[in-house]
C-alpha cells in the first residue's frame, strides 16, 4: 500500500535512478517523503526507452548503484552492456529490495511547484494527488526525459504508425514486412537501426547530421571477470568516483601533435579496440581542446567508416565533418555501419534533400516521396532544462524558473538556483551529469542533498538558498571551463542547439566529476558556502 504523509518534509519528483535513491536516502535519514512519478513504474529512462537495441553505453558493472555493497555483490549482469529489459529488471530489483514502491505515487504528474513565501513551503500540484505542501522539493526528473518531435509539417497526417524512441510501446513493435523510416542518427537511432533493419522489409534512414560511432564490442560477461571485479568492487567504485568521467579510464598528459603519426595510429587503434565511450578520446590529453589534434582522431574514425562500408558514396555521407570528434556525445554501436551494406537499407542525406513534409503515405523530401508503413522518430530530447521548465516552477515573487533561465540555465553547482530556496535539482545544468557515468553523478548529488537536509535539521534551521553571487560565479566558471574545450563549437543538445529557440549555452559542467566532487565537498565542509542558511 502506498504511504502518503499529509505534510511531507520532502517531495521528490521522478522515480528513475535519481528519484529511487533519493527516496531511499531521505527515508533512511528519517524524513517523511512523497514521490510522484508520471510513469506507471520505476526506471525512468529505462521505463520509457524500450526501442529495439536500447542498452547502456557505460559498462553495466559501472552503470549501477554503488551505495550498497550487498546490492552490487548480489546482482548479476549478463552482458558487458546490458539491454534495456535487463536494466529495468535491475530497477525493479532495487525497488523491491529497498521497499521503495510504498512511497511512490505512480501515474501522477507534477503540474506545478510554487513557492509560498509567507508559509515558507512549496505547493506542489499534481494531476492525481491534488496539492501537497512540503518544505523541500527535490527534482529527479532526469536530463533526457522530455522527448523532442522533429520540426516537420504533417506528422499527424501520416496514415501509418509513428513511434518515438523515448516513448516506445510496452508491448513492443514488430516491423516484419514493413517499410520503415527512421529519422535521426544520434545514439537512439544508431542503436535501433541495425535491429529494425533485420526485421523490416525495407528501412530508410533519414540522416541530418552523421555522428561518430564506435563498435561497442559487447559480449556476455565472463564469470572470472565478474568475480575479480566483485572482489575489489569497493576500490573500483572509489576510483570511478575520483575519475574525470565516472569510469576508471586511462589518463595521459601526452599531446597529440607531439606524437608521431605512427604512434597516434597505434594509440587510436588501441582506443578503438576497447569498445568504450571514452577509450578513443582519452588517448591524448588535448583531443577535446585542440582542433588540429582532434582532426587526427576524427580522420581515424572516418577511415574506419570507409573500411566498414562497401559503397564509397554512402560512406562519405556517413562520415561526420560538421563537428569535431567528441563534441557531440559519441555513440557505441553493434553493426551500425555494416547495416548500410544491406540491399534493404537506404540512406537519405537530409543536407542534400531535406524533408519537406510528412504525407499520408510517408516522408516527402525535396526530390522524392518515400512511401512508408511506419516512422520511427529517433529525434532526441529537450535536454537538461526541458524537464525542469516543464515542472512549472515559480520561486520568490512568483518568478518562473523559465524566466530566470531565459538566457540559459544558471545554477550554483547544478544543485540549486537563487530565488528558489529549498529546491534541489539532481544532475541539474551546471553539474557534470550527462558528460559522465550518470550513476556516479546521481549518487553524488543524492548524498550531498541528503546530507544538506540532515545538516539543516540538526542545526534547527529551515531554509537553504543559493546566494546570487555564488550563482553568477558558478555560471561564469561553467562557461569558462567549457570555452577551454571544443565542445561549445558543435550544434549539440549539450548546447541546446537541437531545440529551435533554445538559448545556446553549454549546459553541463566539464571540469570533471573528480574536481566537481571536491568542490561540492568543500562547499559543504565550509557550512554550505554560497548558500544562505536560515
Ligand atoms: P530519468 O531516468 O529520466 O527519470 C526521470 C523520471 O522523472 C522519469 O521517470 C519521468 O517520467 C519522471 N518525471 C519527469 N517529469 C515529471 C513530472 N512532471 N511529474 C512526475 N514525474 C516526472 N547515462 C549513462 O550514464 N549511461 C548510459 O548508458 C546511458 N544510456 C542512456 C540511454 C538512453 C536511451 C537515454 C535516453 C539516456 C541514457 N543515459 C545514460 C542517461 C540516463 O538518462 C541516466 O543514466 C539516468 O537513467 C537518469 O536517471 P534519472 O532518474 O536522473 O532520470
Ligand atoms: P540525439 O543525440 O539528440 O539525436 C537526435 C537525432 O535526430 C539527431 O541525428 C538529429 O539530427 C535528428 N533530428 C532531430 N530533429 C530532426 C529533424 N527535425 N529532422 C531531421 N533530423 C532530426 O538524441 P538521441 O539519439 O535520443 O540521444 C540523446 C542522448 O541520450 C545521447 O546523446 C545519450 O546521452 C543518451 N542515449 C544513450 C544511449 C546509449 O547508448 N546508452 C542511447 C540513446 C540515448 P541533428 O544532429 O542534425 O540535430
pLDDT at 250: 83
Q: What is the SS3 string spanning 419-435?
A: CCCCEEECCCCCCCHHH
CA of 155 to the centre of ligand 1 (A): 26
Q: Can you point out the beta strands (E) in 294-401? A: 331-333, 345-349, 355-358, 362-365, 369-371, 374-377, 393-394
Whether pLDDT at 410 is above 80: yes
Which residues are paired to 268 by β-bridges? none
Mean pLDDT across 40-68: 98
* 373 and 392 housed in the same domain: no
The answer as to whether 2 is a domain residue is no
8-state DSSP, 211: -
Helix axes 261-274, 291-308, angle to 10 degrees: 60
pLDDT at 5: 81
CA of 507 to the centre of ligand 2 (A): 16
The answer as to whether 437 is a domain residue is yes
Structural element, H or E, at residue 203: strand 202-207
* 73 and 107 housed in the same domain: yes
CA of 49 to the centre of ligand 1 (A): 9
Give the position, in ligand 2's atom list, of the atom nearest the Cα of 434: 34
Last residue of a domain, one of 326, 346, 377: 377
Mean pLDDT across 209-219: 98
CA of 32 to the centre of ligand 1 (A): 24
By the 10 Å C-beta count (0-12 exposed, 13-18 middle, 19+ buried), 470 is classed as buried
CA angle 5, 385, 473 (to 5 degrees): 100
* 290 and 397 housed in the same domain: no
Q: How far apart are CA 89 and CA 68, in angstroms?
A: 17
State whether the beta carbon of 144 lies less than 6 angstroms from ligand 2.
yes
CA of 15 to the centre of ligand 1 (A): 9
Whether pLDDT at 217 is above 80: yes
Residue tagged 514502491 (cell numbers): 101
* 190 and 246 housed in the same domain: yes
Q: For atom 31 of ligand 1, which residue has the closest CA?
A: 56
* 362 and 299 housed in the same domain: yes
Q: How far apart are CA 302 and CA 38, in angstroms?
A: 42
The answer as to whether 484 is a domain residue is yes
The answer as to whether 152 is a domain residue is no
Using pLDDT thresholds of 50, 70 and 90, give the confidence band for residue 484: very high
The answer as to whether 290 is a domain residue is yes
CA of 55 to the centre of ligand 1 (A): 13
* 126 and 35 housed in the same domain: yes
CA max distance for the chain: 70
Q: How far apart are CA 149 and CA 54, in angstroms?
A: 19
Q: How far apart are CA 229 and CA 232, in angstroms?
A: 6
The answer as to whether 387 is a domain residue is yes
Q: How far apart are CA 385 and CA 402, in angstroms?
A: 9
433-469 pLDDT per residue, tens: 999 999 999 999 999 999 999 999 999 999 999 999 9
Structural element, H or E, at residue 469: helix 468-483
Tell me the whole-structure pTM to 2 decimals: 0.98
148-196 pLDDT per residue, tens: 999 999 999 999 999 999 999 999 999 999 999 999 999 999 999 999 9
Strand, coil or helix: 165: helix
pLDDT at 2: 80
Q: Can you point out the beta strands (E) in 412-522? A: 423-425, 464-466
* 363 and 415 housed in the same domain: no
State whether the beta carbon of 184 lies less than 6 angstroms from ligand 2.
yes
Last residue of a domain, one of 377, 400, 425: 377
CA of 73 to the centre of ligand 2 (A): 34
5-18 pLDDT per residue, tens: 878 999 999 999 99
Strand, coil or helix: 36: strand
Q: What is the DSSP string of 512-527?
A: -HHHHHHHHHHHHHTT
Enumerate helices (H) and strands (E) in the chain, giving the number of each: 16, 21
Task: Calculate the average pLDDT of the chain.
Answer: 97
Q: Supply φ then ψ for residue 179, to 5 degrees.
A: -95, 115
Residue tagged 534533400 (cell numbers): 353
Name every residue whose Cβ is closer than 8 Å to that of residue 257 and which is 6 or more positions away in sequence: 290, 292, 293, 296
Residues flanking ligand 1, CB < 6 Å: 13-19, 36-39, 44-45, 47, 49, 54, 56-58, 63, 109-110, 140-145, 188, 387, 391, 426-427, 437-438, 442
* 232 and 302 housed in the same domain: yes
The domain total for the chain is 2
Name every residue whose Cβ is closer than 8 Å to that of residue 528 and which is 6 or more positions away in sequence: 452, 455, 464
* 218 and 191 housed in the same domain: yes
CA of 510 to the centre of ligand 1 (A): 20
Residue 152, number of CB atoms within 10 A of its CB: 17
The answer as to whether 424 is a domain residue is yes
Whether pLDDT at 4 is above 90: no
* 124 and 207 housed in the same domain: no
* 419 and 483 housed in the same domain: yes
Q: Say which CATH number the domain at 509 has.
A: 3.50.50.60
Provide the CA 241 distance to its chain's centre, in angstroms.
18
State whether the beta carbon of 189 lies less than 6 angstroms from ligand 2.
yes
Q: Supply φ then ψ for residue 34, to 5 degrees.
A: -120, 135
Question: Could you give the percent of the chain with pLDDT greater than 90?
Answer: 98
- Domain with 311 in it: 181-377
pLDDT at 262: 98
Last residue of a domain, one of 377, 393, 419: 377
pLDDT at 6: 78
Mean pLDDT across 27-56: 98
Mean pLDDT across 261-288: 97
Whether pLDDT at 3 is above 80: no
Residue tagged 549518487 (cell numbers): 443
Name every residue whose Cβ is closer than 8 Å to that of residue 453 and which is 6 or more positions away in sequence: 9, 10, 26, 29, 31, 136
Give the position, in ligand 2's atom list, of the atom nearest the Cα of 498: 48
8-state DSSP, 170: T
327-383 pLDDT per residue, tens: 999 999 999 999 999 999 999 999 999 999 999 999 999 999 999 999 999 999 999
State whether the beta carbon of 243 lies less than 6 angstroms from ligand 2.
no
C-alpha torsion 414→419→422→428, nearest 10:
-20
For a mutational test of ligand 1's pocket, the pick from 49, 142, 148, i.e. the residue with the most ligand atoms closer than 8 A to its C-beta, is 142
Q: How far apart are CA 30 and CA 372, in angstroms?
A: 55
8-state DSSP, 222: P
* 347 and 398 housed in the same domain: no
State whether the beta carbon of 213 lies less than 6 angstroms from ligand 2.
no
| Residue 16 · residue 140 · CB < 8 Å | yes
CA of 188 to the centre of ligand 2 (A): 6
pLDDT at 52: 98
The answer as to whether 158 is a domain residue is no
Q: For atom 28 of ligand 1, which residue has the closest CA?
A: 56
Q: How far apart are CA 34 and CA 21, in angstroms?
A: 13
Amino acid at each position: 500500500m502506498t504511504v502518503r504523509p499529509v505534510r511531507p518534509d520532502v517531495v521528490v519528483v521522478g522515480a528513475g535512478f535519481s528519484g529511487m535513491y533519493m527516496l531511499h536516502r531521505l527515508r533512511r535519514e528519517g524524513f517523511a517523503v512523497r514521490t510522484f512519478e508520471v510513469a506507471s513504474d520505476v526506471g525512468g529512462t529505462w521505463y520509457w526507452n524500450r526501442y529495439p537495441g536500447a542498452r547502456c553505453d557505460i559498462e553495466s558493472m559501472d552503470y549501477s548503484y554503488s551505495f550498497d555493497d550487498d546490492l552490487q555483490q548480489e546482482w548479476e549482469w549478463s552482458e558487458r552492456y546490458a539491454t534495456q529489459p535487463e536494466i529495468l529488471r535491475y530497477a525493479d530489483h532495487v525497488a523491491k529490495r529497498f521497499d521503495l514502491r510504498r512511497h511512490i505515487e505512480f501515474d501522477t504528474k507534477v503540474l506545478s511547484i510554487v513557492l509560498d513565501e509567507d508559509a515558507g513551503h512549496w505547493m506542489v500540484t499534481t494531476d492525481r494527488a491534488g496539492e501537497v505542501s512540503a518544505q523541500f522539493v527535490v527534482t529527479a526528473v532526469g536530463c533526457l526525459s522530455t522527448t523532442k518531435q522533429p520540426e516537420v509539417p504533417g506528422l499527424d497526417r501520416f496514415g501509418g504508425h509513428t513511434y518515438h524512441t523515448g516513448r516506445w510501446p510496452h508491448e513492443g513493435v514488430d516491423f516484419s514486412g514493413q517499410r520503415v523510416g527512421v529519422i535521426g542518427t544520434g545514439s537512439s537511432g544508431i542503436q535501433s537501426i541495425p535491429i529494425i533493419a533485420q526485421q523490416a522489409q525495407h528501412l530508410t534512414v533519414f540522416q541530418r547530421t552523421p555522428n561518430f560511432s564506435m563498435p561497442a564490442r559487447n559480449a556476455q560477461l565472463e564469470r572470472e571477470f565478474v568475480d575479480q571485479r566483485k572482489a575489489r568492487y569497493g576500490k573500483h567504485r572509489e576510483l570511478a568516483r575520483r575519475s574525470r568521467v565516472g569510469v576508471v579510464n586511462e589518463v595521459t598528459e601526452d599531446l597529440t601533435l607531439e606524437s608521431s603519426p605512427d604512434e597516434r595510429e597505434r594509440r587510436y587503434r588501441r582506443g578503438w579496440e576497447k569498445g568504450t565511450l571514452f577509450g578513443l578520446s582519452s588517448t591524448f590529453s588535448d583531443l577535446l581542446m585542440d582542433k588540429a589534434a582532434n582532426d587526427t582522431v576524427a580522420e581515424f574514425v572516418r577511415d574506419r567508416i570507409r573500411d566498414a562500408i562497401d559503397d564509397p558514396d554512402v560512406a562519405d555521407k556517413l562520415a561526420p565533418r560538421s563537428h569535431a570528434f567528441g563534441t557531440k556525445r559519441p555513440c557505441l554501436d553493434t553493426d551500425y555501419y555494416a547495416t548500410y551494406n544491406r540491399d534493404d537499407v537506404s540512406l537519405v542525406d537530409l543536407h542534400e534533400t531535406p524533408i519537406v513534409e510528412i504525407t499520408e503515405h510517408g516522408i516527402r523530401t525535396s526530390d522524392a516521396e518515400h512511401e512508408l508503413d511506419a516512422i520511427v522518430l529517433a529525434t532526441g530530447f529537450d535536454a537538461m532544462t526541458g524537464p525542469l521548465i516543464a515542472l512549472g516552477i515559480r520561486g520568490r515573487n512568483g518568478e518562473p524558473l523559465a524566466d530566470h533561465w531565459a538566457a540559459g540555465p544558471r545554477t550554483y553547482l547544478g544543485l540549486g538556483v537563487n530565488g528558489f530556496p529549498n529546491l534541489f535539482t539532481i544532475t541539474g545544468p551546471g553539474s557534470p551529469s550527462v558528460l559522465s557515468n550518470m550513476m556516479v553523478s546521481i549518487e553524488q548529488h543524492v548524498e550531498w542533498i541528503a546530507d544538506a537536509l540532515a545538516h539543516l535539521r540538526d542545526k534547527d534551521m529551515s531554509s537553504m538558498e543559493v546566494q546570487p553571487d555564488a550563482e553568477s560565479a558558478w555560471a561564469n566558471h561553467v562557461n569558462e571551463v567549457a570555452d577551454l574545450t571544443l565542445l561549445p563549437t558543435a550544434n549539440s543538445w549539450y548546447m541546446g542547439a537541437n531545440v529551435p529557440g533554445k538559448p545556446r549555452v553549454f549546459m553541463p559542467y566539464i571540469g570533471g566529476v573528480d574536481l566537481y566532487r571536491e568542490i561540492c565537498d568543500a562547499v559543504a565542509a565550509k557550512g554550505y558556502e554560497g548558500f544562505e542558511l536560515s
